[in-house]
A and B are shown apart, each in its own frame.
Chain A
Amino acid sequence: MDLFATALPALQEAFALILQPQQIMYLMLGVLLGLSVGVFPGLGGIAGLSLVLPFMFGMDPVSGLALMVGLVAVVPTSDTFASVLMGIPGSSASQATVLDGFPMARKGEAARALSAAFASSLFGGLFGAAVLTCFILIARPLVLAFGTPEMLAITLLGLSMVAILAGRLPLKGVAAACLGLLVGTIGEAGAGGSLRMATYDIPYLIDGVKLVVVGLGIFAVPEIISLLRQDQSIARGSKLGAGWTQGVRDWFENIWLSVRCATIGVIVGVIPGLGGSVVDWIAYGHTIQTAKDKSKFGSGDVRGVVGPESSNNAKEGGGLVPTLIFGIPGSGSMAIFIGGLGLLGFNAGPQLIQNDLNVTYTVVWSLALANVFGAGLCIALSNPIARITTIRFTLLAPFLFMMIAFAAFQSRQSLGDLISLFAIGLVGIFLRRFDWSRPAFLIGFVLSNQAENFSNNAHQIASFQFRRGLEQGLNYVASPIVLGILALTVVSVVLGIRQSKMIRSEGEVVHGHKRAPLIFLLAILAYMVTAWVNAALIDLTSDKIFPLTVGTVGIVATLLLLIRMIRAPEDDPVFADREAGGEDAAAPHGLWSTLAWFGALLVLSSLLGFILALLVFLIGFFRIRGQLSWARTLLFTAAGIGGMCFLAGTLNRDFPPGLLQEFVKLPWPLK
């Protein structure tokens, strides 16, 4: 009762504060910026907030908050466009949307997928805002209840989603997840700073591979290459479908799924340190586990869109809880949000809520209103945007290559970004070709850091607590929350393994000859063994135990697969190979020649710098691969380079420089 007595007047006051023409204008501005940033793959809330941060200083606090919240709130709404229409995660929060959203677009149901996604996003966003309203006042004990063992348990729960997404052969999923975990350990160890699979001679590797690069490489590159080889438009049918109302109905039919996933989103968001990139996977895994008919997942089941999209918008509401209450950001964009708050003259933390509850609540209102505006705008704009899927893909692909190369480069602004994008892209292509679960790989990668840090820390603190007394130690590691989450994890693994055989998270795959799948398996095994030996040579136990453990599991799984390969006949699912039949085999263009185009862009970039390379690449591609007339070639090239420069100019970003720039000083954008 007390709660309402304080909250309600503050809520009303906040509503009056936000409902001024100026504030609403800033909110709209934020929404528009967020929409534009979200549409571009690889750019998310971090890029958007960094864009407005310089203008924060001296702004009226409510306007500034409206601007920032508006921007953050709609990124998970608009990033759906790229995921559904192009098969590229628009941001890390909608990676799972690709799995079912993209097949729907290819079946000509883009409109249905989008409207279901927007309806779910809207609901999730409002749900998150509602939860935030109450949580602001009561969440402190909840956040404090999540210590390191609890975080570790949640991380394990996230990893358990691998079981359901592993595909036909659970062992392959395990191996893929271990590979992802191992790739995640590359670089300086979090605890002692030892180098793993890296050397001081290659500074790029010391920081490890970044999520943006892995996300784009694992999902975007293989899809683009595959589509490009087939030389058609993304949507098979000529119509986008009149599925708008159908999509909303789909959402409404799955309203309880939406509620559950939004709840997952809020909880994951509230716990600082888990990060937003897991939430969509947990929601997707949950969606499959609780569905009765699982046969269509991976080939365009609308529930696979509703689940993740409900959760990723709800996450923003949850993420604001630790941000506002503790001043501890739950994600990268929230960290910048805190910076922005500081510039507005507020400091996130307990005193913000005590002293400025009404200002805090303008955040809630901004969040709710931004979700409504954002979903409305997305629906209004989606027809023109969705028409992209009807364009011949050969004309689209070079722009996509351009975008993902630029986006990947933003992660570290080093040529190494492009090289690692290509390398990871290659891994992604083969994972897809031989039906090794790409989601499992990505989950492993995303959780690698957390899994290692939390288990190291929990182990260290637990042994400290046990030294003080058995009871204290047990209370620490076996809290009710930990036990609850662990029980959930066990259930999730058991259900997952039992059900995964029925789920093709990436569609049907035929099987072919033995040789190619065997070579890829041996390559994975070789990497795992190298990583294992490399880890074994490290002195510090804290830095080597994790890669050793994961490596051992991965090597055992791979060896078991190898034994199966030796014994099984050629038609065994272990020999899945997309090149043996189906779309990929029937494609008019070969894999290598298509990949060579992308490779050429990257090699040229390293020689001439990005923009000059792009010039050569676009002209060459449109003329030779696209067979366009010179007039159209030049027109498209100019449009591409112009758009790129405009985007980079507004975001104040540089382009990858090449060898040429070492010797000659050129003006921006050529520098």
Chain B
Amino acid sequence: MFNKKTALAASMALACAMSGAAASALDLSGETVEFVIPFSETGGSAKWANFYAPLLSEALPGKPTVVVKYMPGAGSTKGANWFQDQSYEDTEGKVIFGSSGSTQFPYLLEDPRVKYEYADWNVVLASGTGGVAFLPPDLAGKMDGLDATGLQGTDFIWGSQGATRLDLVPLLAWQMLGMSVEPVFGIKGRGDGRLMFERGEANIDYQTSAAYLDNVVPLVEAGQAVPMMTWGALDENGNIVRDPTFPDIPSFKEVCEATPACETSGDAWEAWKAFFIAGFPAQKMIFLPKGAPQDAIDTYTKAFNDVIARPDFKELSEATLGDYPQMTGAPAKVMLDLGTKVPASAKAFVKTWLHDAYGVSLN
């Protein structure tokens, strides 16, 4: 069995070599590509994966059926550990994996459950998103322009999914501004957090971009909420700039600069920035398993490029993905590096902070 396989691989390699550097060596006619996500059918990742699956199906050579396969468990580490065990040789380009900020955070925080290594995988797409924090109108009035000092005396309460999740980015940001925000842990999704805000149980909240556009903008129009800041976006050079989806809302960086208590340098800022990048601009990525040859990576990259280049892509994606860059090739690689390589000092800072402020330890 093994010999047959090696022989096959060898002959395929030979065939590739002979046909030159053609990117079409991978033909998936009649095959089924499994797009595995380490989450259940219900979350944002499922929405994202189901958005891409049919488009990818049309763009890949041979138009294979692309099915989304859910592999939830252990805060997404189960599916990622499974993917770590897959190799390109065995899966022959028919398995791709979609990871999310929830997969990256345990990896960055050295959760004991993590047995996967991002460096082994081959990124073919990186999708970013953003987030917007908002306040009730009476509290928003306490801000002096961009200066958030006026909010320091107020007790804030906030529905949160847990301090080790994506929610650590806003928590840290608010703390850096000198605000005292008490997180109510254990809510099931960001939608529940918004409902708490609408009921008046919570008096601060944030939503990712798509959810903000759908559900918070009507609140803002009705005078029940006022945007406070976005987390920002990254430009080509890795600098934090205003979020292009919300050009009128200041970024956290601007608010931080205008607030005396907050500094855009030092350990806290570096840690915030690292985890912000992992959680938002580099939130969702698609990988081929370890050992994927360059031509397979090229085939998938081209397919995603074709998807993104569709004339109707912008219109289709707006609702699901928001107005954010969908990156392939070298920019996707840069995102992978930014999102999964965090300085040891930033990790140490966050771990100490989580332990001291919330009693959370990951061992």
Contacts and interface: CB of A to CB of B under 8 A. Distances in A.
Interface of A: 46, 49-50, 53-54, 56-58, 143-144, 146-148, 188, 190-193, 200, 203-204, 206-207, 272-273, 326-329, 332, 335-336, 339, 342-343, 345, 347-351, 412-414, 452-453, 456-457, 460-461, 464, 467-468, 476, 539-540, 542, 652, 664-665
Contacts of A467: 155
Given A206-B113, A347-B319, A350-B215, A147 B74 contact: no
Contacts of B9: none
23 contacts: A50-B70, A54-B53, A54-B54, A56-B50, A144-B198, A144-B199, A147-B199, A148-B201, A203-B74, A207-B74, A272-B195, A328-B191, A339-B50, A342-B320, A345-B319, A349-B218, A414-B73, A456-B186, A457-B186, A460-B182, A460-B184, A652-B69, A665-B90
Contacts of B198: 144
A131 to B, nearest CB: 21
Nearest to A352: B214
A58 B316 CA distance: 10
Contacts of A192: 162, 185, 358-360
A203 B159 CA distance: 27
B113 to A, nearest CB: 6
Interface in B35-76: 40-43, 46-47, 50-51, 53-55, 67-75
Interface-central residue, A204, A345, A464, A476, by most chain B CB under 10 Å: A464
A343 to B, nearest CB: 6
Given A53-B41, A327-B211, A461-B202, 16 more contacts: A49-B41, A57-B50, A57-B54, A58-B54, A144-B198, A148-B201, A272-B195, A273-B188, A273-B192, A326-B215, A327-B214, A350-B218, A351-B218, A460-B182, A461-B157, A540-B360
A350 B182 CA distance: 29
Q: Report the interface size class on chain B.
A: 35 or more
B51 A343 contact: yes
B26 interface: no
B186 A453 contact: yes
Nearest to B34: A652
Please name the 4 residue pairs, one residue from A and one from B, whose CB atoms are nearest each other, closest first: A335-B42, A190-B186, A191-B185, A57-B54
Contacts of A143: 195
A468 B215 contact: no
Interface in B179-196: 182, 184-188, 191-192, 195-196
B284 interface: no
A351 B214 contact: yes
B210 to A, nearest CB: 8
A412 B72 contact: yes
B112 interface: yes
Interface string B204-247: 00000001001100100000000000000000000000000000
B301 interface: no
A53 B90 contact: no
A671 to B, nearest CB: 11
Interface string B348-363: 0000000000111000
Interface string B97-139: 0000000000000001100000000000000000000000000
A336 B185 CA distance: 24
A336 B359 contact: no
Contacts of B40: 332
B347 interface: no
A188 B214 CA distance: 32
A327 B215 contact: yes
B201 A540 contact: no
Contacts of A345: 319
B134 to A, nearest CB: 16
Contacts of A461: 157, 184, 201-202
Contacts of B113: 200, 203, 206
Given A413-B71, A457-B186, A461-B157, A339 B41 contact: yes
A539 B191 CA distance: 29
Nearest to A49: B41
B214 to A, nearest CB: 5
A453 B215 CA distance: 24
B251 interface: no
Given A327-B214, A412-B72, A464-B157, A54 B67 contact: yes
A652 B41 contact: no
B191 A342 contact: no
Contact of B41 (A50, A207, A476): A50
B164 interface: yes
B78 interface: yes
B309 interface: no
A92 B309 CA distance: 44
A412 B78 CA distance: 10
Contacts of B162: 191-193
A193 B75 CA distance: 11
Nearest to B42: A335
Given A54-B54, A347-B319, A327 B191 contact: yes
A245 B316 CA distance: 52
A59 to B, nearest CB: 11
Contacts of A539: 359
Interface-central residue, A272, A339, A467, by most chain B CB under 10 Å: A339
Nearest to A50: B41
A422 B201 CA distance: 42
B18 interface: no
Nearest to A456: B186
Contacts of B55: 57
A200 B361 CA distance: 13
A475 B69 CA distance: 47
A57 B359 CA distance: 45
A347 B185 contact: no
B127 to A, nearest CB: 15
B360 A193 contact: yes
A539 B75 CA distance: 21
Contacts of B202: 461
B214 A464 contact: no
Contacts of A327: 191, 211, 214-215
B42 A329 contact: yes
Contacts of A57: 50-51, 54-55
Contacts of A457: 159, 184, 186-187
B344 interface: no
Contacts of B90: 665
Nearest to B78: A203
B1 interface: yes
A191 B186 contact: yes
Nearest to B32: A652
Contact of A349 (B1, B42, B215): B215
A283 B5 CA distance: 59
